[in-house]
Amino acid sequence: MQINQAILHIVDPATATAYYSEQVLDLSEAGINQYIEQLCTRFLRRDNQNGTLPADNPILQLCQQLSDFVPVSQQLAQRFFNFVLPQSDIVSGDLLIAQLTENERDYVAVLKLNQRQDFIHYLNYTEQAVANQIVLNQAVLPAVGQAITEGVIIDQASGQYFLADKAYQIDGEKRPYVASDFLIVTAEPTLTSSVKQVRQAVNTVAEKYNQDPVETTANLKQAVYESLNETNTLDVDYVSDQVFKENPAAKQEFDQQVTQAQVPRQKADLTHKFEAKVSKQKFKLDNGIELIVPVDIYQNRDLIEFVNNPDGTISVLLKNINTIQNKF
């Protein structure tokens, strides 16, 4: 990643007043370029909300005029602060705006750096002596490892955006604001949120149609894993086909529920990490035994089998084992 230029517009938390910089940051100053690069890199690697801004979106149009970087950044900051500053519940923060290049594509980052309190040392000279003091600083910027909770990075050419949003109490209701009040779009949910909504819909429908909850959950995880493994995408239609393939009525009701919940029919894994989260089936038995089985061998009856006994209990058979390791 290359940071081409960046600017910081700040807020005085005591007066809720914005101060707009008239000069870009000096990226040659020790650590400044690295700090901004790490913030942007971590932001892009998160499980963000994402979508594409329409060509007539005012924020995208401003981002495409960055030949006049400073005045355009001021306009972006004004639009942001004009909404944020009157909202007393929104945490005070400065606004970092950067133009960067990643994989030969140009992006604009608009990241709110929430201010926090922290103690610093202060060297105070008096007439009598040097007095080293501890001072509470009211406007410390987030550390590199701290997640940015509100912000967006926008592809200047395509309008694709990567969004982090946080809900606050606004006009009597708790809601996120970056998408609706700054970008003026309805953002798609994150992949994590999409999987959670799919899981909730599967559980609800499976219970209604008396499907075995253990088998249903295992089939759901298997379908999610296969979808991500093959296409790097959560394909809701594929999940529906696999989980409810023998119950058309349940499949139809599941499709209705995910549609009502506005779950995208296909959701890409932008982090390329989610597949690993669903790569293992985890079973907890009522006798205290816990099993972790890789998804790709769960249905291999030559290796593992779940047997329903006549007395209603279940036996788990592990087969063709050559060695056993006890890891401590």
| Residues paired with residue 18 on neighbouring β-strands, in sequence order | 11
In angstroms, rounded to a whole number, what is the distance separating the alpha carbons of residues 61 and 196? 34
- pLDDT of 10 > 80? The answer is yes
Element (H, E) at 257: helix 248-260
In angstroms, rounded to a whole number, what is the distance separating the alpha carbons of residues 95 and 141? 11
User: Greater confidence, 56 or 190?
Assistant: 56
φ, ψ for residue 45, nearest 5 deg: -90, 0
Lowest mean per-residue pLDDT among 77-91, 128-142, 156-170, 192-206: 128-142
Domain assignments of the chain as residue spans, ordered by start: 2-113+143-182, 191-273, 278-318
Q: CB-based contacts of 207: which residues, under 8 Å, 6+ apart?
A: 213
Please tell me the predicted confidence (pLDDT) of residue 130. 82
Average pLDDT over residues 185-196: 84
Average pLDDT over residues 98-124: 88
What tokens does 208 get? Answer: 């209604």
Lowest mean per-residue pLDDT among 101-110, 159-168, 206-215, 261-270: 261-270
User: Greater confidence, 212 or 241?
Assistant: 241
Please tell me the predicted confidence (pLDDT) of residue 13. 75
Output the CA–CA distances (angstroms, integers) from residue 131 to 42, 119, 168, in the order listed.
Answer: 40, 16, 42
For 276-288, what is each residue's pLDDT tens digit?
777 888 888 888 8
Q: Are 220 and 239 in contact (CB under 8 A)?
A: yes
- pLDDT of 65 > 90? The answer is no
Nearest to 60 by CA among 160, 159, 131, 150: 159
pLDDT band (50, 70, 90) for residue 61: very high
For 280-314, what is each residue's pLDDT tens digit?
888 888 888 888 888 888 878 888 888 888 888 88
- pLDDT of 72 > 90? The answer is yes
- pLDDT of 14 > 80? The answer is no
Tell me which residue has tokens 């694709």: 160
Estimate the crossing angle of helix 248-260 against helix 191-208, to 10 degrees: 140
Q: Are 174 and 168 in contact (CB under 8 A)?
A: yes
3-state secondary structure at position 76: helix
Tell me which residue has tokens 């779940």: 306
Q: What is the mean pLDDT of the chain?
A: 87
Output the CA–CA distances (angstroms, integers) from residue 98 to 47, 48, 60, 61, 190, in the order listed.
Answer: 21, 18, 14, 16, 24
User: For the chain, what is the radius of gyration of the CA atoms?
Assistant: 26
Please tell me the predicted confidence (pLDDT) of residue 186. 83
User: Greater confidence, 16 or 318?
Assistant: 318
Residue 6, Cα to own-chain centre: how many angstroms?
23
Please tell me the predicted confidence (pLDDT) of residue 44. 87
For 118-158, what is each residue's pLDDT tens digit?
788 888 877 778 878 888 877 788 888 888 899 999 999 99
For 16-51, what is each residue's pLDDT tens digit?
888 999 999 999 888 899 999 999 999 988 888 888
Output the CA–CA distances (angstroms, integers) from residue 297 to 68, 213, 234, 284, 305, in the order listed.
Answer: 57, 20, 21, 18, 11
- pLDDT of 245 > 90? The answer is no
Of the CA atoms within 13 Å of residue 299, those in its CB half-sphere come to 10
Average pLDDT over residues 91-116: 90
- CA dihedral of residues 163, 146, 115, 74 (deg, nearest 10): -40
Please tell me the predicted confidence (pLDDT) of residue 88. 82
- pLDDT of 193 > 90? The answer is no
Nearest to 9 by CA among 106, 92, 118, 89: 92
Please tell me the predicted confidence (pLDDT) of residue 304. 87
Cβ of 95: how many Cβ atoms within 10 Å?
A: 25
Nearest to 243 by CA among 205, 282, 296: 205
- pLDDT of 77 > 90? The answer is yes
The 93-102 sheet, strands edge to edge = 17-19, 2-12, 93-102, 105-114, 151-155, 160-164, 49-52
- pLDDT of 108 > 90? The answer is yes
